[in-house]
């Protein structure tokens, strides 16, 4: 069954409202710091794509072809690719910047997806994220757990109770504290891959 995330017109309608209410400023921050070859993972209907600076080379990757068609109507300068975050179809260290907004709550295996992000990001490249996360308030986190199955069904994949920042750290990313902003369960920040893996 399709959820809101898989129905382009419905997702765009809902997100237009959310963006209008102030969320667009967070999108601009995430996209505004992109430099060089940039991969946007889970670009969906392409809501961020019009905001990249013209000198940035953008590749948008998305699971769902229908969503990429909607993205193509918004921009014609980006290369759009059907693919999965858990198996990125790119060579190691291919990108200077990787962007994700509202994606790792939906990726089926976020840890594997973030390992793939680390693989295709060049050493000292930047990951810029805008994600909602598990609440730090215990009661709220319990409510998120309760709501998760129905919420995941209605949205088409979103998990409101994911500790994405903890997953990032586990994988070997270091969140830049100066860049980090939190508003309720919403987070935006830049991160670098800091694993001691000699391969990076």
Ligand X SMILES: C[S@@+](CC[C@H](N)C(=O)[O-])C[C@H]1O[C@@H](n2cnc3c(N)ncnc32)[C@H](O)[C@@H]1O
Closer CB to ligand X, 41 or 168, in the complex = 41
If binding is defined by CB under 6 A, does position 165 make contact with ligand X? no
Q: What angle is formed at CA 65 by the lines to CA 17 and CA 73, rounded to 5 degrees?
A: 55
Which among 74, 82, 115 has a CA at the least distance from the CA of 98? 115
CB of 196 to ligand X, least distance (A): 27
If binding is defined by CB under 6 A, does position 157 make contact with ligand X? yes
Contacts with ligand X, 101-130, as mask; x by CB under 6 A: xxx--xxx----x-----------------
Three-class DSSP labels, 77-117 = CCEEEECECCECCCCCCCEEEEEEECCCCCCCCHHHHHHHH
If binding is defined by CB under 6 A, does position 47 make contact with ligand X? yes
Give the list of residues 6+ apart from residue 11 with CB closer than 8 angstroms, or none: 4, 5, 44, 45, 67
If binding is defined by CB under 6 A, does position 42 make contact with ligand X? yes
CB of 100 to ligand X, least distance (A): 7
CB of 198 to ligand X, least distance (A): 28
Separation CA 129–CA 126 (nearest Å): 10
Binding site for ligand X (CB under 6 A): 5, 15, 41-44, 47-48, 62-64, 67, 84-86, 101-103, 106-108, 113, 157-158
């Amino acid at each position: 069954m399709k959820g809101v995330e898989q129905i382009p017109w419905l997702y765009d309608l809902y997100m237009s409202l959310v963006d209008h209410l102030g969320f667009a400023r967070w999108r601009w921050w995430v996209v505004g710091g992109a430099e060089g070859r940039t991969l946007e993972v889970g670009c969906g209907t392409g809501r961020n794509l019009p905001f990249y600076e013209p000198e940035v080379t953008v590749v948008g990757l998305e699971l769902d072809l229908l969503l990429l068609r909607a993205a193509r109507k918004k921009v014609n300068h980006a290369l759009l690719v059907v693919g999965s975050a858990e198996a990125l179809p790119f060579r190691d260290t291919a990108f200077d910047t990787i962007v994700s907004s509202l994606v790792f709550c939906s990726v089926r295996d976020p840890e594997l997806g973030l390992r793939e992000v680390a693989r295709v990001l060049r050493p000292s490249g930047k990951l810029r994220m805008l994600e909602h996360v598990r609440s730090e308030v215990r009661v709220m986190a319990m409510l998120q757990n309760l709501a998760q199955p129905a919420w995941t069904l209605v949205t088409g994949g979103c998990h409101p109770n994911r500790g994405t920042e903890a997953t990032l750290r586990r994988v070997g990313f270091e969140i830049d504290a100066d860049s980090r902003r939190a508003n309720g369960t919403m987070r935006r920040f830049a991160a670098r891959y800091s694993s001691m893996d000699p391969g990076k």
